[in-house]
Structure 1
Amino acid sequence: MDRVEFEDRLKEYEDRFKAMEPEMELTIRDPELGVEGWVVVWSTLNCKDSPLGRVGKGGTRIHSGMSLDELRMLARTQTLKNAAAGIGTGGAKSGMKDDPQSPDFETRYRRFVQLVSPALRENGGPWGGLGYDIGAHPDHCLWACDELDSTTCFTGKTVEMGGTDYDVEGIAGLGVAVAAKTLLEETGRSPSSATIAVQGVGAMGAAVCRYAAEQGMTIRFIADPRIGGCWRLETEFEGALRDTIIKMDMEGARKALEEGPHICMELDDVLEQAVDILFPCAVHDVITSDNVDRVTASAVVEGANNPCSSDARRELHARGVTVIPDIIANPGGAIAAYIELTSEVTNEENAATRAKVAEAKQYTEEKVAENVRAMLELADSAGVDPARAALMLAYRRVFGEE
């Protein structure tokens, strides 16, 4: 496929995707309790042959300004993410308009769970269940599973409840590190020869640090406002520094940094470092047309959701900087949810052996590496940037035309 044919085909897919309507929208309300929420299943065309059947999956977002329009947008995006990952679930999102810190929230959340339960796959619906997202808390999983007397209604559960504990295990961050490792190997580099910078050391960034170091990469810079800025590491990523970062103990990490020989810099300096790979793992749009000229890394692997704007991605590509987009690099959470829904390991066996954790990690490594290679091959053959190649792969899978 040459570039002209690629662009024509991509435009055709984009138009088809924009014209899609959700397969299911459920609005629930309890005026007496003040409960309002929604479930949106956008598309399940990509999973006709899935062991789950045609089911959409995504997290459950909770905030006081939540709206159906926001949820539709999120479900559309999740459709592309799940398709790009190559897993057997379509895209969906659920949401609740509420403040999760407000009094009596548990009562309202339990009512929300009751009202949306008919849409669950286990009850014959097209929805794969609740999950973690903005506004979520581990207590929500306990409340939902208790309310419905089911541990299959919520993904991201603890190992003892039959889950993969994917936030604690950092499975999404594992995928991002694997994406970088695959890129290095595909370009003839060994991970042990690569230097990296990690922007943001929350759940994603901490896991990237953990797994990238295990793969042999050298962490030169880490940055987060909670650790006092950007730090240039003057020793190996080990000991108290490693332990506190992995545990997301920001106070402990800052103490370890300040007591070591490390050098503190301005927070945004992390974006300017001449490392082999920059991992933006904080928030969206940190690299835009306004600051992309400051990026000197050889490659960017996106850990956060859309940390690079489309213009920035194009400019980086024009300069020879490879960008692995988030829909290819960070599907680990979605993959872990899929494993929770499909694994035949019993809850008892999982609690004893952590088998689902191992299964989710292995599947994440396999899928991410496979998708990075496919994206790079398509980008090279069509003469386009990797982000556009990733979109093409996602659209093909959305419409079952891979």
Structure 2
Amino acid sequence: MADTSLNPYVRAQQSFKEAVETLGLEPAVYEILKQPMRTFEVAVPFIRDDGNLQVFTGYRVQHNDALGPTKGGLRFHPNVNLDEVKALAMWMTVKCALLELPYGGGKGGIACDVDQLSEREIERLSREYIRAINLVIGPDKDIPAPDVSTNPQIMAWMVDEYSRIRGENTFGLITGKPLVIGGSRGRVEATGRGLVFATRQLAKELGIEFEKARVAVQGFGNVGSVAAAISHELGATVVAVSDKDGGLYNAGGINIPDLLEYKRTHRALKGYPKAEPISNQELLELPVDILFPAALENQITADNAKNIRAKIVGEGANGPTTPEADAILFDKGVMVVPDVLGNAGGVTVSYFEWVQNQTRFYWSEEEVNHRLEEYMSRAMAEMHRMHERYGVTLRKAAYLVATERVASAMRVRGWLK
């Protein structure tokens, strides 16, 4: 018999089941949440540059819309499959409900390798995908956004195609767009900034002064570099950072603006003269207050969790902590800001973008950042209260908060009898 424990769809179902049972909710809540309400699989034919026709398989899954239209990213990747997209849509339901966004979870993608496609082919593929799903998406129905191997330019092509089909500009269809056609200020930095806001709120709940904290950041891409910069800006001492080639350590603190300028010039962290080199593994085990794993999945495992000395682990990456490591850290008293909240700054500012599109009134970056802090801090405070009430990890507390909120919406709408 095949091992289903690693199937993301099965794991998402199990998480909802545990949440419903812990909260003592009606069994019907799980029966509704255990599967998407709508699942679409579409053929996406397009013409290659050589004139030949190729057909890829595309997906769009809408998990639950009790709280509002579904919302979730689009990924272009060879390994995209239906079970993965279903699980991602279910996790988006949790993320949106946790942040009190008026959305349910959605997700989509195309099973393709964009590295094998020219820019013109990617544009044609993007437009054909929107043509294939245009009847099931819309600003008040299902709102896509960029995800793995997609970007603002691809979103621009998609919203243009949808607008052509509908005969009117419909910028609220998609978020994560370029600023000039309705994108939001602050969107690029939102995930890293939101991670810091959520972690700072948890530090406050635990009686840790973020401004005096020692911080290590694994991963110096968009999320990690922003998290490091915001932490430095708020007064924390960032003692270590790393990228795929290794890390840097300075016990007295690294000047992050100076390091960012070095990276801009040298295109790498390696060789920075004001810190000593360390490995990614050594960075994870440093004696710091806050550790931000913002690189790859499965970085903290059963093998190294016992060596983690941080008081708080703020997950910027997707799945950087394995379930086994999660249990070890919890037993040690290490609090983990789960990825479902840790990297939710992106979808939160996507919501702000959608609001701005719908009202035709656009906000300053200062206002976007202020509202982001409000949403992230509130969600963390609610998760921490649920954690204390049930004695569970913050990851499980996130499911409890979200499931309770979605169940309440389904109940008042008359879905539960």
TM-score norm. by structure 1 comes to: 0.85
- Please give the alpha-carbon distance, in whole angstroms, between the structure 1 residues aligned to 2:137 and 2:219: 35
CA RMSD after TM alignment? 2.7
**Residues 14 and 134 of structure 1: CA distance in aligned 2, closer, same or farther (over 3 Å):** farther
- 1:293-332 residue pairs with structure 2 within 5 A? 293-332=306-345
Give secondary structure in 2 for the equivalent of 1:152: helix
Residue in structure 1 matching 2:402, options 390, 394, 398: 394
**Residues 335 and 329 of structure 1: CA distance in aligned 2, closer, same or farther (over 3 Å):** same
Residue in structure 2 matching 1:140, options 147, 154, 162: 154
Is residue 322 of structure 2 the alignment partner of residue 333 of structure 1?
Answer: no
Letter in 1 for 2:65: T
Letter in 2 for 1:390: A
Q: Per-residue displacement from partner, 1:284-318 (whole Å, max 9, x unpaired)? A: 22111121111111111111112112221221121
- Please give the alpha-carbon distance, in whole angstroms, between the structure 2 residues aligned to 1:145 and 1:162: 11
Q: Which structure is higher in RCO with an 8 Å CA cutoff and minimum separation 6?
A: 1
Residues 345 and 356 in structure 1, CA contact (< 8 A), matched pair in contact too: no
Instruction: Give the C-alpha shift of residue 175 in structure 1.
Output: 1.1
Aligned residue number for residue 267 of structure 1? 280
**Residues 287 and 314 of structure 1: CA distance in aligned 2, closer, same or farther (over 3 Å):** same
- 1:214-233 residue pairs with structure 2 within 5 A? 214-225=233-244, 228-233=245-250
- Please give the alpha-carbon distance, in whole angstroms, between the structure 2 residues aligned to 1:105 and 1:11: 48
Give secondary structure in 2 for the equivalent of 1:327: helix
- Please give the alpha-carbon distance, in whole angstroms, between the structure 1 residues aligned to 2:280 and 2:222: 18
Give secondary structure in 1 for the equivalent of 2:131: helix
Q: Per-residue displacement from partner, 1:164-191 (whole Å, max 9, x unpaired)? A: 25553x1111111011211222223322
Letter in 2 for 1:229: G
Q: 4+ residue runs of structure 1 moved beyond 3 angstroms?
A: 5-8, 10-19, 30-33, 242-245, 249-253, 344-347, 356-360
Aligned residue number for residue 190 of structure 2? 171
Aligned residue number for residue 371 of structure 1? 379
Residues 240 and 253 in structure 1, CA contact (< 8 A), matched pair in contact too: no
Which deviates more, 376-385 or 201-210?
A: 376-385
**Residues 367 and 239 of structure 1: CA distance in aligned 2, closer, same or farther (over 3 Å):** closer
Residue in structure 1 matching 2:258, options 215, 220, 240: 240
Q: Per-residue displacement from partner, 1:210-251 (whole Å, max 9, x unpaired)? A: 2111221110111112xx312103554244313456xxx483
Residues 44 and 58 in structure 2, CA contact (< 8 A), matched pair in contact too: no
Q: Per-residue displacement from partner, 1:37-93 (whole Å, max 9, x unpaired)? A: 121100112x1xxxxxx3000000112332222211211121112112221110000
- Please give the alpha-carbon distance, in whole angstroms, between the structure 1 residues aligned to 2:295 and 2:31: 28
- Please give the alpha-carbon distance, in whole angstroms, between the structure 1 residues aligned to 2:262 and 2:233: 16
Residue in structure 2 matching 1:94, options 102, 108, 115: 108
TM-score norm. by structure 2 comes to: 0.82
Aligned residue number for residue 191 of structure 1? 210
* Percentage of pairs with the same residue: 27
- Please give the alpha-carbon distance, in whole angstroms, between the structure 2 residues aligned to 1:304 and 1:195: 20
**Residues 165 and 136 of structure 1: CA distance in aligned 2, closer, same or farther (over 3 Å):** farther
Is residue 175 of structure 2 the alignment partner of residue 155 of structure 1?
Answer: yes
Residue segments in structure 1 that go unaligned for 5+ positions in a row: 48-53
Residues 62 and 135 in structure 1, CA contact (< 8 A), matched pair in contact too: yes
Aligned residue number for residue 51 of structure 1? none
Residue segments in structure 2 that go unaligned for 5+ positions in a row: 1-17, 46-52, 164-169, 412-417
Q: Per-residue displacement from partner, 1:341-378 (whole Å, max 9, x unpaired)? A: 1226866x64xxxx164443222211111111122222
Instruction: Give the C-alpha shift of residue 338 in structure 1.
Output: 1.0
Letter in 2 for 1:218: T
